[in-house]
Amino acid sequence: MVPHRLVVVRERGFDVRSFGTGTHVKLPGPAPDKPNIYDFKTTYEQMYNDLVRKDKELYTQNGILHMLDRNKRIKTRPERFQSCKEQFDLVITCEERVYDQVLEDLNSREQESLQPVHVINVDIQDNHEEATLGAFLICELCQCIQHTDDMENEMDELLQEFEEKSQRPFLHTVCFY
């Protein structure tokens, strides 16, 4: 669901990329213990076709097909954060587990440019309502960050403000490329 939230951000004018961090792409299946698993080489198109073939009604109902349809218009296939060698200024994760993975990955890379990258985690429950709220929260956070003159200097304060407002803990750290 992570890409879903970040798409919102893109439409509001940020230069945003979405990534997965796991070893595979998992999509909800017919039961919680039976997810659909794809590797990162699979295109959204292929996933879409696969799910249509498996159970079109189910996946239309739970919105997965809709999501895949939208995603494939943005890019051909999901990307894995660990495989991306581009440098970012800010990484936002929506789950502490993902945050840890990102940190682990970034820290395991060989430092080179020492360009800092801020990593922020906002815990968002994986359900529809939370996702929508979380999407707006992240979007607002990004806007605020974009409006700062000096992101690094004001980030701390900003996050504390958001924390208070949203009543959610934010994890925040900085890593270096």
Partner 1 sequence: MASGVGEQAHGSVASQFYSNEEETAFDMTTSEKVVELLNQAALISTEEKLIVLKQVQELIINKDPSLLDNFLDEIIAFQTDKSIEVRKFVIGFIEEACKRDNELLLRLIANLNMLMRDESVNVVKKAILTLTQLYKVALQVSLSVSDMQEACWDMMTQIKEDVLALLDSDNDGVRTHAIKFTESLIITLSPRTPDSDTPKKQEGDISLDKIPKDHTYIRYDTLCEEGKSALEQLLKFMVHPAISSINLTTALGSLATLARQRPMFMSEVVQAYETLHANLPPTLAKSQVSSVRKNLKLHLVSVLKHPSSVDFQGQISTLLLDLGMSQSEITRCTPATVQPRKRLHHDNALFVLADAPLAEDDEDKEEPAPVVTPKPSSSVGTQSAIDLTAEFLLPLLTPDNVANLVLISMVYLPEVMPASFQATYTPVESAGTDAQIKHLARLMATQMTGAGLGPGLELCKARDEEVKEEDGGAGESSSKDPLIIRKLSAVSLGQAISVVGAPAAYKTPITEEAPQIKKLPEPILPTSQPKAPGASGRKKVFKLADVVQPFSEAQIEKLSNMAIKRILLSEKVIAQSGMSHVRVKLLARLVTQFEGGKKNDLLQFILEDMRGRSELAFSLLYHEYNEYLSQQPSGSLDSYEHCLYTLLSGLQEKPEQRDGLFTKLVLEAPVITDSALEVIQRYCEDESRVYLGMSTLKELILKRPSRQYQYLNVLLNLSSHEKEKVRSTALSFIKRMYEKEHLKDCIEKFALTYMQFLVHPNPPSLLFGAGEDTEVASPWTEETVRQCLYLYLSLLPLNHRLVHELAAVYTEAIADIKRSVLRVIEQPIRGMGMSSPDLLLLVENCPKGAETLVTRCLHILTDKVPPSPELVERVRDLYHKRVPDVRFLIPVINGLEKNEVIQALPKLIKLNPIVVKEVFNRLLGTQHSEGSSSMSPLTPGELLIALHNIDSSKCDMKSIIKATNLCFGEKNVYTSEVLAVVMQQLMEQTPLPILLMRTVIQSLTMYPRLAGFVMNILARLILKQVWKYPKVWEGFVKCCQRTKPQSYNVLLQLPPPQLPNILS
- The residue ranges that bind partner 1 (CB under 8 A) are 100, 103-104, 107, 110-116, 118, 150-153, 155-156, 159-160, 163, 169-176
Print the SS3 string covering 146-158. HHCCCHHHHHHHH
Q: Tell the smallest beta-carbon distance from residue 55 to partner 1 (Å).
A: 40
Specify the DSSP class assigned to residue 85: -
CA-to-CA distance for 125 and 8, rounded, in angstroms?
17
Radius of gyration of the chain (CA): 17
Contact status, residue 27 vs residue 35, Cβ threshold 8 Å: yes
Judged on CB neighbours under 10 Å (0-12, 13-18, 19+), 29 is middle
CA-to-CA distance for 75 and 174, rounded, in angstroms?
28
71 or 93, CB closer to partner 1?
Answer: 93
67 or 142, CB closer to partner 1?
Answer: 142
11 or 112, CB closer to partner 1?
Answer: 112
Q: Tell the smallest beta-carbon distance from residue 142 to partner 1 (Å).
A: 18
Q: Tell the smallest beta-carbon distance from residue 8 to partner 1 (Å).
A: 24
71 or 121, CB closer to partner 1?
Answer: 121
Q: Tell the smallest beta-carbon distance from residue 157 to partner 1 (Å).
A: 10
59 or 88, CB closer to partner 1?
Answer: 88
The answer to whether the Cα torsion of 163, 165, 166, 168 is positive or negative is positive
Q: Tell the smallest beta-carbon distance from residue 163 to partner 1 (Å).
A: 6
